[in-house]
Chains A and B, each alone.
Chain A
Amino acid sequence: MNFRRIAIELHAHAADLAGTRATSVDVAQEATGSDVKRALVERIPALAGLVRASALATDREYLSDGTAVAGEEKLHLIPPVSGG
């Protein structure tokens, strides 16, 4: 099976829990957002609780968990937002 590496940027409380602002996951070519989240929790178990409440996003848009992510080199994990 072909795997591809996707860089993940962590923000706010997710970065604090993980102890880093940048990590990466290796996922299958046909991987969806859910697969990325699963791989991220395997890599950083401290994120397990927060990932469920977080969205994945590119620099342009949020992604649903069912979206195929094979074309993406970098994704953001967006925990609950508190702007304003």
Chain B
Amino acid sequence: MKRAKVNQGGDLQEYKDVYVIGECLDGRLHPVTLELMGEGRKLANQLKRHLGVILLGDDMDEALEHLQDYDTDVIYHLKHPLLKDFSTEGYVKVLNDFIRGNKPEILLIGATSFGRDIAPRLAGRLGTGLTADCTKLEIDPADGKLLQTRPAFGGNLMATIICPKNRPQMSTVRPGVMERAHKLGEGKAHLVTVIPELDAEDIRVALVEKKPPAKKQVNLIDARVVVSGGRGLKTPEGFRLIEDLADVLGGEVGSSRACVDAGWISHAHQVGQTGTTVRPEIYIACGISGAIQHLAGMSEADYVVAINKDPEAPIFKVCDYGIVGDLYEILPAMIEDYRKRKEEADHA
């Protein structure tokens, strides 16, 4: 295979439209797909271009019908039996052919573990730059180029990256950050089925088995309430109290990186730069000091509550409501009080 090169002085004007690559694996449409569509629409409107959604798979009528209700100009279904299961090489081959043929100006991919597997490989084959894990995308009003902003150095610094000489401009986009697409009404989006060329020999890694998630799924991304514990818990058992509060409020349990690193709780619970980004209505940080890398994962919460012994903890600068005190006293009092209120409301 001939290796692609960048900076070949190609005509950038040939590239038009904004494309996003949806993620639908094992029949499950990843929520980032709608977020990419929402963001893609915003960029396409600013550029006065069309928005296209690419979905790879074999038979996937349910997901396609669902997406057709949302705001996009066109959905491209790259349909092939060999695309039924995920493979880096199968996905990259058909995407490369399709993108080279259609020449979008901007290409967005979800920064999931699968998106971040294929995107660099695809950029490498197309001969263009890629910006990872973007949290903000804008069009430069001066020249229409894509400004791709992302956290670096553990969220201590934000960097805006550009890709001036190569197309498409490619970004992976952090899940949970962008606004989801609007519903337009049933089946409004135009569906185009594309049959790509793909041979079994193109795929050198075989998927042998799919394992279901081991434990009860932690669903931090969609949680309305997240109660998180940090180093201030002092012991791993402290998470029982966090769980109790999360349970009575109908929320999920989150954690700072320190507790995950200490082995107190699994990585699936980690909120922050190297964990999950959450956008709940209420985020309750208990015994969390508020390191920037943690704040990067929760700054989208509508309301932040901080409970910490240390009045100087940085978390108090970013909270809506703060309580300076011992979480082992405050949390049981909250649980008891909340239960009492609920009972009263139920009897009223």
Q: Do chains A and B stick together as partners? A: no
